[in-house]
Structure 1
Amino acid sequence: MFSDELKAFRRLGFRHFLLQILNFASVIASGLMLWKGLGLILNTESPIVVVLSGSMEPAFYRGDLLFLTNPPGQRYHTGDITVYKIPGAEIPIVHRVLETRDVFMPLDNSTENRAINKRLAKLKLPPGEHQLMLTKGDNNHVDDIDLYQGLEWLNQRHIVGKVRGYVCSQFFFFFILFLQVLQAKLAQSDTSLFHSIYTSNSLTLHP
């Protein structure tokens, strides 16, 4: 009899374990679907990014969450804060547009444009009009050319998105602190409730 109950308990325990795995997988899948959906709607591979350095202080600090959009045909202007990624680089960079330039490719082969054509060749721009950008971190002393891995300008295919809003890291600190205080209060109230129930039961059992 005991062995049958033990088997039933093990069977229920295994089922519970499988249920927990399925629930966890469902949460992960829902999160990925939401992430991909936001990316499609906002036309960016990363609709939300985290600031990892202090190069944009005091505008943004480490740990801040940034919300991005990148509509088709989006034009950028001096002062816009963008997130860009150079091919081969592991981490996107959050910096401000310092300068923009419009070019129509291909440029004619005049003496004046030969040097420009040579410099722009690394961008491999298709024929047509293109917007070029130079960026810089607010907290940096120089522009980002050294970060471009041989390029002199960014173009729109390097842009992950434009910053539209953010949540500061201090918010998460206070939010976590609030949750900890709330958890402590709930634990305290549960203890008080248990104590009152135990006391009332004791009084009932021992008048």
Structure 2
Amino acid sequence: MEFLAELGRMNKRQLLLQGLNLAMIVTSALMIWKSMILATGSESPVVVVLSGSMEPGFYRGDILFLNQPKRPSQTGDIIVFNTDGREIPIVHRVIKVHQRAGNSSDIDILTKGDNNWGDDRSLYPRGQLWLNPSHIMGVVVGYLPYIGQVTIVMNDYPMFKYALIAVLGVFVLTSKE
């Protein structure tokens, strides 16, 4: 209730300034994100590992940085891919690249999680045995361990996410210059 009392004491100019500050923060974050997309060529230049399928290379909660290389994928590359019908992208290693006859850029890709017993064909849509380059969001070029745990907690416990948004909103609106 103190928050509402604080809002009541602010004049219109102060409220407008707080709103503009919040808009600048959001706009800056969007500009940074779009700049990263342009620099890396990847539609999603940063992803969080959500499962243990790549252990011990990457653990749940690691943040991965992606780039879209000019060369085709090669065996051993760790890629992030997404197939039709899947909402969440997958981070796995390329285990086989099959180049089709007649066109050097037309390749088929097979992936596998380092911690999985078999290849990923069971994760691909029914009837699809290979990935093609259009499925690849990017190749992993770096990572930060465990920083993405916040994302996992917010996905696993949605109430935590809403509480965090509320606390940040109160902080932004009640901060004074």
Range class of TM-score, shorter chain: 0.7 to 0.9
In structure 2, how many angstroms separate the alpha carbons of the residues matched to 1:89 and 1:142? Answer: 20
Q: CA, structure 1 residues 49+171, in 2 after alignment: closer, same or farther (shift >3 Å)?
A: closer
Please identify which structure carries the higher helix content: 1
Q: Which amino acid aligns with 1:138?
A: D
**Which contiguous aligned blocks of 4+ residues in structure 1 show a shift greater than 6 angstroms?**
170-173
Q: CA RMSD in A?
A: 2.3
Indicate the residue corresponding to 2:39 in structure 1: 41
For residues 9-68 of structure 1, give each alpha carbon's deviation from its aligned partner in whole angstroms, at most 9, with x where no partner exists. Answer: 968433222211211111111111111111112111000000001100110111100000
Alpha-carbon offset, residue 129 of structure 1: 3.7
Indicate the residue corresponding to 1:57 in structure 2: 55
Secondary structure class of the residue paired with 1:78: coil
Secondary structure class of the residue paired with 1:25: helix
For residues 120-173 of structure 1, give each alpha carbon's deviation from its aligned partner in whole angstroms, at most 9, with x where no partner exists. Answer: xxxxxxx87412110000111111001110211001100000000000016989
Structure 1 residue runs of 5 or longer lacking an equivalent are 1-8, 106-126, 174-207
TM-score by length of 1: 0.63
Choose the corresponding residue for 1:30, options 22, 28, 53. 28
Structure with the larger RCO, 1 or 2 (CA within 8 Å, 6+ apart) = 2
Q: CA, structure 1 residues 171+37, in 2 after alignment: closer, same or farther (shift >3 Å)?
A: closer
Q: Which amino acid aligns with 1:63?
A: G
Q: CA, structure 1 residues 11+131, in 2 after alignment: closer, same or farther (shift >3 Å)?
A: same
Verify the 8 A CA contact 1:104 1:129 in the aligned structure 2.
no
The number of residue pairs the alignment matches comes to 143
Structure 2 residue runs of 5 or longer lacking an equivalent are 1-6, 151-177
Q: How does 1:1-207 map to 2 (within 5 A)?
A: 12-71=10-69, 73-104=70-101, 129-150=105-126, 151-169=128-146
Secondary structure class of the residue paired with 2:92: strand
Larger Rg, first or second structure (1 or 2) = 1
Identity over aligned residues, as a percent?
49
